[in-house]
Amino acid sequence: MGAVTQILRWAAGADTVPEDDDFDDGVLLGLVGQHALSGRLERRLSAGPAWLRRRLGGPVVAMHASTVALAEAHMRAVGRIVAGLGEQPPPVLVKGIAAGLLTGCRHLLRCGDIDLVCADGRPLIETLTRLGYERTRDPFLHELGEFTRAGVEIDVHAYLPVPGYGAVRDADLTPPEHARTWYQPRRAPSLHAIRHDRLMECGTVTVGRVTVPDPCVLAIVLCAHAFLNFTNMWSLSHRAKPYVKLAELADLQALVRHEAFDTRRFLTLVEDLDAGDAVRWAGWASTVLLGRNPLPVPAGTGPFPRCLWWDFWARLPVDEESLLLPDWFDVAAVTSVLGSRIELDTGRPTPSWTVEVRRDGDGVTVEVGLPERTDAATERGRVDFGASGTEWALAGGQLSALGGHDTCELLAGRRVRLRYRGPQAGGEVLVGVAEQDASGALLSAVLRPATWRSAGPGSDR
């Protein structure tokens, strides 16, 4: 265990006291912020090693003071939103400051975005606009958009997703030996949507003007969110954050100890909300990373398949250290599992397409050649370097893209060209293309690695 991750785990509640002082203070403090552990670390430092207190005491106190100030700003912001909604049902705030508000413990306060689940998106968005918030991200999946004002970001959710493995079968996750293409049967995962009315029915608590889930419901919400982050290896989710946020696991310990936590009701909710996979994974992660499973459900034993893209799933080796660092995944580790290419077995032949990857000055250019004609309503693509990536879509001759690219353009001959500035790790990249019909149903999908040399072009076709 590295010195940095040992301190992070200890801050989150692990028993092992840090002994290794060989770490960079700036790196550690950055990760304390990403794991939202400033309050917990400040509290534990008083009983920790003197050398650690001397090195980190001042910066950690300042960091948590900033967190508390932001949390107070969040509470005021939500209060104004609730007042602005008038007779409309108030939204439910999930994650972020929720555990701190429920427990009344200052050291549990943590905040990033304000995540609000609404009964009706239209009046909430109208209220946000009236209060001076500007849309900073368009709707995507369960999120109706992100809205920002004076440094406060609010994510409006139509519902909270509770993911599960559903029809994903372990037997499908072993590629055939010596085959160039791994045809993977399409196995849809499950996803239970917790909407506003269900949240209210399951149990909420209002602190001031802020409504949050009660301890049983919030524990499930945190398990589901952490499980989704772990399983989701799509490049669209790439941000400078670790796969597992330790504060979410640490919050579970506090919620289970809460006087209002009812084990019998929690177990009923796990069943009703189809949260078994998420809760068992959270028990495993808590055991592995923090030394104990606080949940009244036996921890899962793995392996835990991870979603590579669309309905592609694979068993990938899990490096506990890497789960806590914002380095995402090693593309080479993924390509060693999927081999030459993986194709979804939908019954429709995958169209002929090409990809070329080449060094381009101080960066990398990826060019995807699409077939001359298609009857698909939308073609989608993925370019993934492991630490940065892009998801693009082509529909009606219009190209759109999200991700870490510098430029993305549609060239003559139906070629999509993406440029990335700066060096990219390794010499491998995952590239995928998928087709959808007008209803959004997936018609075909393929994902495969491509390589480039240190100098000159490299390609994979």
Sheet containing 415-420, strands listed edge to edge, beginning at the edge strand earlier in sequence: 407-411, 415-420, 363-369, 354-360, 457-460
Q: At what angle do helices 38-45 and 3-11 cross, to 10 degrees?
A: 90
User: CA 372, CA 340: separation in Å to the nearest integer?
Assistant: 24
Residue 80 CB coordination number (10 Å): 14
Residues near 224 by beta carbon (within 8 Å), at least 6 away in sequence: 160, 161, 162, 163, 275, 278
pLDDT score, position 389: 84
Which has the closest alpha carbon to 452: 460, 461, 442?
Answer: 460
Q: Residues 155, 96: contact at Cβ < 8 Å?
A: no
DSSP letter, residue 108? G
pLDDT band at 455 (very low <50, low <70, confident <90, very high): very low
Put residue 358 in one of left, alpha, beta given phi > 0 → left and psi -120 to 50 → alpha. Answer: beta
Residue-wise pLDDT for 391-448, tens only, equals: 999 999 999 998 888 999 999 999 999 999 876 656 888 999 999 999 988 999 999 9
Q: At what angle do helices 246-257 and 276-290 cross, to 10 degrees?
A: 100
Which is higher by pLDDT, 311 or 107? 107
Q: Residues 105, 254: contact at Cβ < 8 Å?
A: yes
Length of the chain (residues): 461
pLDDT score, position 64: 97
- Beta bridge partners of residue 307, listed in sequence order: 232, 313
Q: Residues 176, 345: contact at Cβ < 8 Å?
A: no
2 has pLDDT over 60 = yes
pLDDT band at 459 (very low <50, low <70, confident <90, very high): very low
Cis ω before 161 (30° cut-off from 0): no
pLDDT band at 461 (very low <50, low <70, confident <90, very high): very low
Kindly report each contact of residues 68-77 with a partner whose C-beta sits within 8 Å and lies 24 or more positions away, as own/partner. 68/39, 68/106, 68/109, 70/111, 71/97, 71/100, 71/109, 71/110, 71/111, 73/152, 74/111, 74/114, 74/152, 75/101, 75/208, 75/209, 75/210, 77/114, 77/149, 77/152, 77/154
The angle formed by the CA atoms of residues 82, 87 and 93, to the nearest 5 degrees, is 30
What would the two tokens of residue 19 be? 């002994």
What value does the mean pLDDT of the chain take?
A: 90
Residue-wise pLDDT for 16-35, tens only, equals: 999 988 999 999 999 999 99
Q: Residues 142, 94: contact at Cβ < 8 Å?
A: no
pLDDT score, position 1: 57
Distance, CA of 3 to chain centre: 25
183 has pLDDT over 80 = yes
How many angstroms separate the Cα of 356 from the Cα of each of 3, 182, 366? Answer: 41, 21, 6
162 has pLDDT over 90 = yes
Please report, for the chain, how many H helices and E strands are present, in that order. 13, 23
pTM of the model: 0.91
456 has pLDDT over 50 = no
DSSP letter, residue 140? B
The angle formed by the CA atoms of residues 325, 330 and 332, to the nearest 5 degrees, is 170
Q: Are strands 152-157 and 143-149 parallel, antiparallel or unpaired?
A: antiparallel
Q: Residues 289, 14: contact at Cβ < 8 Å?
A: yes
Q: What is the mean pLDDT of residues 357-362?
A: 84
Residues near 107 by beta carbon (within 8 Å), at least 6 away in sequence: 39, 40, 42, 43, 64
